[in-house]
Structure 1
Amino acid sequence: MNAPLHLAATLSDGHVTGVHAENSRPLAAQLLVGKTVDEAARLAPVVFSLCGVAQGVAVKAAADVAGGGSFVMTADIERALSLEAIKLHLWRLMLDWPVLFGRQPERTRFAFVLKRLDQATDARSAYEAGGAVLDLVARELLAGFINSLREPRNLTEFADTCRRSGSIGDALARLIEAGASDPLEDPVPLLAPLPASVFAEALPGGWPDAAYCRAPHLSGDVYETGPLARHVNNPLVARLVVQRHRIAARLFARVVEMSDCASRLRHPLPDDMPALVDVAPLAGGGALARIETARGVLLHALRLDGDTVADYAIVAPTEWNFRPGGVFEQEGAGWAATDVAYAEWRLRALALALDPCVLYDVAVTEGAVADA
């Protein structure tokens, strides 16, 4: 079966070039057109199942404002979104990252933690589940830092400190020891959490058409979205970025974000954290909902005809990070690789760190060797 996202590159004269992300997944938002709002809210989580909670919330939020009302964020919605994000992060951390390093996925542990999270059905059980996630983060990444008398002075000490934690810390240490991953003098800028109104005002023509949904931008500029963009100001994440270890920084940021999500489970709607959801009206009618998901910013644009969806568009995080000229294509090119196998491994690490929401494959071909 062909993956919807094909990632290709060429290894020529010891350097990776010609990095290309070909995204063939269909723009399925039109499946919601002609449905009532309630039907669309039920259908969206089925069509986009990986982040189904966020998709359903986005439909309702956009429809509330497009219909002339307002969207009210509740503690229940915040907890549901946070639970979904934690599960998606754990999936990558426990099942996918170990495989990248030749280890078995931690299916038994993942199933145990997932069962614990699924027991969070009210405020009290969500509080307890959040505590369990914080304990997991402390054991799996931060234990080495907590037990150290000082911060690591260099990257070697940083990796050693990570390794004194659990399996996730070990994966981070291995990434650091694999060498710097960022060949760019001017990396793709990070898309910090922004209100929906900023995106609404910047949309070309006031609506995200098919071309925009395939290759989103903000006022013409390409951005990276996701955990790194949200947590780049964390001192330890920032240290990895400065040292040009952006793949490792993304992995670290994912764990930091799990802590934030756990805090939202325990204390939803905090004043000192960015809002997960907001909505802005569109100048030409309709509304744009913005949700911060595990993979990055998710935008839903909706127009209504009475209670029926007249037009719909979705801009997903994958299209930001794997668009033509986006962060995968830019950061994936220009660095040295000893052979095709290593080049493929490094590109898989970059893809996994950017976390597309569709199946993908990676292929590196060997180019002709230039004459001496």
Structure 2
Amino acid sequence: MSPLAASAVLAHRRGFSAPAFTDAGRWLAGRPVEEAARLIPRVFNLCAAAHGAASAQALHLPATDAEASIRQETLRDHALALFHQAPEALDLPGERDALGLLANPDGGAELARRVSGDVDLAGLSLSDFDLWLARGETLPARLLRQVRQHIDPAWGRVGLPPLTLSDLDAAVADAPRDLPARDATVLTRVRQAPLLVALLAAEGGSLLARLLARVLDLLAVLKGGPASCGRTAAGHGFAAAARGLLAHGARVEAGRIAFYRIVPPSAWTLAPGGLLERMLAALPSRAETPMLGRLALLAVNPCVPVKLEGLGG
């Protein structure tokens, strides 16, 4: 999301503060449909393709082939976390050169190898996963191994119902003051992977499970992934953005915007009593707590700057 898309007003929660989300309807009201469709990806430029696709669906504009661009946004986001941001948080050397593979049309196979080696990570059993962690030399394997060895599964563990299209419809239509607690992260779209099913059964929504979800989502996107946009039962547009399910709702009168609302996945994650607040509340008071807070942020991946507070350890 660009700076224009977030209010300067900070929303304070227990453990963190973040900019309040903008009211898109306020600055789109009265604009012609085509102008609104052009503006939205420019303003919400962090996931421009996903916002553009959800907007086109909400405005009932001709479908455009946004699949490849949405996948590229998602790959970029996960790769930056796994090869630069997470290693930095854990004092491991990053591999910035891996990010260069994103610009190579034929770099997908090499990027997958740099992530999981030669194994089908999503299909592993827990025992085989432990072997992969012990023997794996890829940077994501070393990252997850460090988390497995040094972070208690209870630290930051939260289990919430996954976000559904019905939840999106209710949020777009009713704009509740406080969104119900839902998991809107990419964990919801890879939670049926056999390895993640087993890990969630063993330790719940731990930091390890959530970071693994980002690894598995990257690998799934490299394989093509599922359809990434469409319309809900109520006719609202949605897209599977890099951070989770994104919704756009619109009403058009005489070719102009009469109503517009955007509900990004981070609105659920950063809501009062939502996922991030609960994760931070579940962290211990230890010397490494600031690092755990950074890992929690990387796991949920908000689309606005978040300042952690009161995690001195």
Range into which the TM-score falls when normalised by the shorter chain: 0.7 to 0.9
2:219 equivalent to 1:251: no
| Distance of 2:8 and 2:15 partners within structure 1 | 14
2:257 equivalent to 1:262: no
1:278 alignment partner in structure 2 = 230
| Distance of 1:199 and 1:152 partners within structure 2 | 32
User: How far is the alpha carbon of 1:332 from its aligned partner?
Assistant: 2.2
Q: Give the residue type in structure 2 aligned to 1:305.
A: E
1:343 alignment partner in structure 2 = 289
User: How far is the alpha carbon of 1:186 from its aligned partner?
Assistant: 7.1
1:114 alignment partner in structure 2 = 102
Q: 1:139·1:165 contact (CA, 8 Å) conserved in 2?
A: no
Identify the match of residue 230 of structure 1 among 171, 174, 189: 189
Q: 2:158·2:206 contact (CA, 8 Å) conserved in 1?
A: no
1:81 alignment partner in structure 2 = 70
CA change 1:56–1:153 in 2 (3 A) is: closer
| Distance of 2:229 and 2:47 partners within structure 1 | 14
| Distance of 1:109 and 1:200 partners within structure 2 | 35
Q: Secondary structure at the match of 1:323?
A: coil
Query: Which of structures 1 and 2 has the bigger CA Rg?
Result: 1
| Distance of 1:301 and 1:350 partners within structure 2 | 30
Q: 2:54·2:238 contact (CA, 8 Å) conserved in 1?
A: yes
Q: 1:41·1:60 contact (CA, 8 Å) conserved in 2?
A: yes
Identify the match of residue 37 of structure 2 among 24, 32, 41: 41
Q: Secondary structure at the match of 1:153?
A: helix
Q: Deviations over 1:81-103 (max 9, x none)?
A: 21221122112222211111123
User: How far is the alpha carbon of 1:77 from its aligned partner?
Assistant: 2.2
Q: Secondary structure at the match of 2:15?
A: strand
2:114 alignment partner in structure 1 = 139
2:80 equivalent to 1:91: yes
2:52 equivalent to 1:56: yes
TM-score normalised over the length of structure 1: 0.71
CA change 1:354–1:146 in 2 (3 A) is: closer
Identify the match of residue 169 of structure 1 among 130, 137, 141: 141
CA change 1:146–1:22 in 2 (3 A) is: closer
Q: Secondary structure at the match of 2:48?
A: helix
1:159 alignment partner in structure 2 = 133
CA change 1:35–1:146 in 2 (3 A) is: closer
Q: Give the residue type in structure 2 aligned to 1:39.
A: E
User: How far is the alpha carbon of 1:152 from its aligned partner?
Assistant: 5.6
The residue correspondences of 1:187-226 to structure 2 (distance < 5 A) are: 187-191=159-163, 194=164, 196=165, 198-199=166-167, 202-203=170-171, 207-209=173-175, 211-212=176-177, 215-217=178-180, 222-226=181-185
| Distance of 2:312 and 2:213 partners within structure 1 | 33
TM-score normalised over the length of structure 2: 0.83
User: How far is the alpha carbon of 1:262 from its aligned partner?
Assistant: 2.1
| Distance of 2:184 and 2:93 partners within structure 1 | 29
1:269 alignment partner in structure 2 = none
CA change 1:142–1:229 in 2 (3 A) is: farther
2:275 equivalent to 1:319: no
Structure 1 unaligned runs (5+)? 9-18, 66-70, 118-128, 265-272, 368-372
| Distance of 1:92 and 1:183 partners within structure 2 | 20
User: How far is the alpha carbon of 1:114 from its aligned partner?
Assistant: 2.8
CA change 1:185–1:96 in 2 (3 A) is: closer
Q: Deviations over 1:237-256 (max 9, x none)?
A: 23332234621222222222
